[in-house]
Structure 1
Amino acid sequence: MQPKLDTTTMRLDAQKADSQLQVTKAGMFQQAVNGTEQVIFAENSVFKIAFTNKGGQPKYVELKSFKNAETQKPVVLAASDFNKISYAINTAANQSSQTSDLFFSNGKVEQGPSGSQVVSFELRGGDSAQTNTYIKHQFIIYPDTYKIDFNIALTQPAQLLTQGNLNLIWKYEAHQQESDLDFERQNTQVGYIEDGNFDYHTIGKKAQLSLENL
């Protein structure tokens, strides 16, 4: 007779072990491993954007002037768990964590110059709020435009980044918004700016693009 396995207990044990591993890997940022997600909002005339303290990043964007072809509701972008902006930070000797796995604090929206809004989050190392090792994410939303600035400030970059390199991961899952899916796939594009010069990439141009030299 084969022994009966308690899959529920096994699953809980695996989750507990994974959680403990995340705490160990987080090193000086252990207090940021477990937390409660908090969402704050900023908007201008063309979009409304939700930000989450988990990873200190955008959670989703709602476009005010465009409607989904099927639902006729405003187009919502980057609304799945797949989407994230993240990078690895050194947390202890031979240990690292992704910022998207950590809960930032002090999330707030403030008025900036010329009608802009400034959204910011902080991630501090150690137990003291006075620690001199911290990361700050800042997003600047300008009036009447889709442009958003993303600034990252690190107080100890040589300590937090391996060889001083910030290896950014930007994952985005595009859901169907138009009635013609093939047309939409061919025209979805990523734009980028270097030294004031704008360029863009679409699947129609080529299947992949390396940004290593930007």
Structure 2
Amino acid sequence: MFFSKYLRWILVLPLLVLVGCVQQPLSSVDRTKYKTVALDPTIKVPDHYVYRDITGKRSRGMVGGVLGLLIGAASEGPGFKRFDAAASKNPIDIRTVVRRHMDGALRTAQFLKVVSTNPDTTLRIEVTGYGLGPVHGRELGAMIAARAMLVGRDGKTIWKKDEWAVSDTTTSLENLEANPKLWPRMADEAAESLARKLILYTSKSTRTAAEPFM
């Protein structure tokens, strides 16, 4: 029972450890070769959001390994139930939220012209994780991790980038329970920040671990 209850929250961790090579910005794409882009509407998202807090994070860091993951997940179980109850009062469609901000960022960037038919390229988005996690010590914020991939008409990858972002607004779990409307607001802020990082930033970046998920 213990394992089945927390396994889905533990298994998301390997997807979020994005460390390694330098990533090129979308602006690096050869615009003499590619002129137009369409956003793939079928954005992949996880079946469930996750909950992390500072106590669970410390357990994973101090103990390490599978045992640390299990101890961290167990300590976060009650908090997840409280977060889930609050979030359920103002549910969000994370796919719609992310799509809106990605579309807006593409149109703002103007690196490629956004079209609805016969595009030179298609931007595919996969949300690898989202939920609530520690941002400023015990303060909690919305968090989203995602991968963007630009593919050509032949289906080959032209460009890809992994990023994660958190909301500017942070709060305590107690305050979120008292003000459940904060959850949609924080999720929207995190999605907006994610879109900026994936689409609008024009400098090279290095993959980093999605810290609030750890």
Instruction: Tell me, yes or no, whether TM beats 0.5.
Output: no
Point out the structure with max Rg over C-alpha.
Answer: 1
Of Structure 1 and Structure 2, the greater helix share is in 2
TM-score, scaled to structure 2: 0.31
Of Structure 1 and Structure 2, the greater strand share is in 1
TM-score, scaled to structure 1: 0.31
Higher relative contact order (CA 8 A, sep 6+): 2
